[in-house]
Amino acid sequence: MSETTDPHPPQPKSRPVGGTEHSWCKAVPIGTGTTVLALHLLKPPDFSLLQSALHKLQITHPILRSTLHFDPTTSAFSFSVPPSPPPLLQIQPSDLPSTANASAVSPFHLILEHEMNENPWRDMDTSTDCVDIDVFFARVYVLSEGEWAVTLRLHTGACDRTGAVGVLRELMGLMGGGEGREIEREGEVNLGIEECIPSGKANKPFWARGVDMLGYSLNSFRFSNLGFVDVDSPRCSQVVRLRMSSGDTDRVVSGCKSRGIGLCGALAAAGLIAARSSKDLPDDQWEKYAVVTLTDCRSILDPVLSSHDLGFYHSAILNTHDIKGGEKLWDLADRTYTAFSNAKKNNKHFSDMADLNFLMCRAIDNPGLTPSSSLRTSFISVFEDLVIDHSSEMHVELGLRDYIGCASVHGVGPSIALFDTVRDGELDCACVYPSPLHSREQMEELVANMKKILVDACSSVESAS
């Protein structure tokens, strides 16, 4: 008996991207928004188990099996989700890439940077044909005879930092004895963030919107930046890590809690002081720096979403701060965090969302609107919410030595983007920056100075008490 063909096979589900997602669809091709999760293993990964785990993730989170579609006739992007079950994700075994900078960093660090600069979405918005490209890729590298790296690369428009943290945890759970983590239900591709803003929260009078847009635009010409090293050469993203001992981490976190501020305020303040002090300027000379704080909106959307819901649900709040020589960390941390907190209380993370997305796209289309055509829209970006992780037997079972999650920034964005985690009580920040606009030596010096500023501020408080 011949097989019958279903006359109405299930069709892919598709939806247009929202405004914020569209901004990322514009930003990722030029280098900002390639999210990478990298695991450093001391045991060879089980390919069949890894592939099964990734397959389960794609069933649970349909956006991970989606393709990003671009229609050049309308210049419109959309997510297209094939019906389940998806085909098995192809894991690419890869050799260690070679680079002139290989001696400056470890092989695992090199893999992280290499993956951030692999960009399958690069030519999407310049294509003359309709294009469909996956949003999720996986690779395995052999670092040495006893070391491996597993990397996941994602389009930030489809998976923000909260989602990426969740994906990493779910993957490790599925690989480390995942029998008790079978898929209970298939999720959905949720609406874009703009469609989930509670009624009235994004309202802004027409004239107020015009004034704010003019203010953002004019202020951008007054922003100070860290000195640029090379504004002409092609750019890539590189990483410097800021790590602190458990004792120093506890003192910094406790200092933030005692003052009612988030760690993001202290990190931003340390960055501003370090940047200002890197210049040979008189103490009484003021400079204006821009800080972008990203806040996860899932818990305040309608409907409320959880970390299990993948997509891009962060919003940015941009504040400017006038800095002079001799600033004290805790005073400045209080100023930076209070400015962010007050803006959030006034719903600017919702009401200014369209404005900041528009200006981001304007900068992409007109780099000359930014200093030295650098595409720098702020000095530093930080996340409101701190990621806290603890080692477990599962990590031992996997042979997990290290792991990092961050995203590229060498298109449009800050001079330094901080992806902070407190892991087993120790602060570990992946500090991503555009190279060679900034050099590795320059950023290592900046980050080392930031760490010293944080540690010294806590030590001086202890000495005085």
Q: What is the CA radius of gyration of the chain?
A: 22
d(CA 58, CA 151): 16
pLDDT digits (tens, 9 = 90+) for 374-414: 999 999 999 999 999 988 888 888 899 999 999 999 999 99
- Position 424 scores a pLDDT of 94
Return d(Cα 348, Cα 204) in angstroms, integer: 10
Retrieve residue 308's tokens: 């299990």
Q: How many Å apart are CA 457 and CA 465, to the nearest integer?
A: 13
Of the candidates 231, 249, 253, 225, the residue with the CA atom closest to the CA atom of residue 380: 225
What's the rounded Cα separation, in Å, for the pair 192 and 357?
Answer: 14
Sign of the four-CA dihedral 221, 230, 36, 363: positive
Kindly list the structural domains of the chain, giving each domain's residue range(s) and its CATH number in brackets, ordered by start. Answer: 13-185 (3.30.559.10), 203-464 (3.30.559.30)
3-state secondary structure of 57: helix
Amino acid at 131: V
The per-residue pLDDT for 98 is: 60
Q: Give the pLDDT confidence score for residue 232 in this predicted structure.
A: 95
What is the spatial distance between Cα 137 and Cα 134, in angstroms, rounded to a whole number?
Answer: 7
Share of the chain above pLDDT 90, in %: 69
**pLDDT per residue rounded down to tens, the chain (465 residues):** 444 555 555 666 889 999 999 999 999 999 999 999 999 999 999 988 999 999 999 999 999 999 999 998 888 999 998 876 667 677 877 777 765 445 578 999 999 999 999 999 998 877 778 888 999 999 999 998 889 999 999 999 999 999 999 999 999 999 876 543 445 556 667 889 999 999 988 876 655 655 555 555 556 667 889 999 999 999 999 999 999 999 999 999 999 999 999 999 999 999 999 999 999 888 889 999 999 999 999 999 999 999 999 999 999 999 999 999 899 999 999 999 999 999 999 999 999 999 899 889 999 999 988 889 999 999 999 999 999 998 888 888 889 999 999 999 999 999 999 999 999 999 999 999 999 999 999 999 999 999 999 999 987 655 544
pLDDT at 38: 96
143's CB contacts (< 8 A; 6+ apart) are 40, 96, 107, 108, 111, 149
Sign of CA dihedral 444, 446, 450, 452: positive
Positive or negative, the CA dihedral 431, 94, 233, 122 is negative
Q: Identify the bridge partners of residue 32 per DSSP, sorted by sequence position.
A: 409
| C-alpha atoms less than 13 angstroms from C-alpha of 241 in its C-beta half-sphere | 19
pLDDT score at 179? 44
pLDDT in tens, 202-214: 876 655 655 555 5
Question: Residue 4: how many CB atoms within 10 A of its CB?
Answer: 6
The DSSP annotation for 298-360 comes to: GGGSSS---TTS-S--EEEEEEEEEE-TT--HHHHHHHHHHHHHHHHHTTHHHHTHHHHHHHH
336 phi and psi, to 5 degrees? -65, -40
Q: Tell me if residue 239 falls in helix, strand or coil.
A: strand
List, for residues 324-371, the tens digit of each pLDDT value. Answer: 989 999 999 999 999 999 999 999 999 999 989 988 999 999 998 888
Which residues lie closer than 8 Å to 413 by C-beta, 6 or more apart? 27, 32, 375, 376, 377, 378, 381, 434
What is the per-residue pLDDT for 53? 93
pTM assigned to the model: 0.92
Q: Which residue has the tokens 């419109």?
A: 76
CB-based contacts of 286, cutoff 8 Å, min separation 6? 322, 323, 324
What's the DSSP call for residue 223? B
Q: Are strands 287-296 and 376-383 parallel, antiparallel or unpaired?
A: parallel
C-alpha closest to that of 30 among 367, 401, 391: 367
Q: Check if the beta carbon of residue 137 is closer than 8 Å to that of residue 158.
A: no
Q: What is the pLDDT of residue 100?
A: 45
Please tell me the predicted confidence (pLDDT) of residue 1. 43
The strand pairing partners of 41, in sequence order, are 148, 400
Q: Return the sign of the alpha-carbon dihedral for residues 206, 211, 216, 221.
A: positive
Q: Which three-class secondary structure state does DSSP give residue 124?
A: helix
Per this entry, what is the length of the chain?
Answer: 465
Tokens 């901080």 belong to: 418
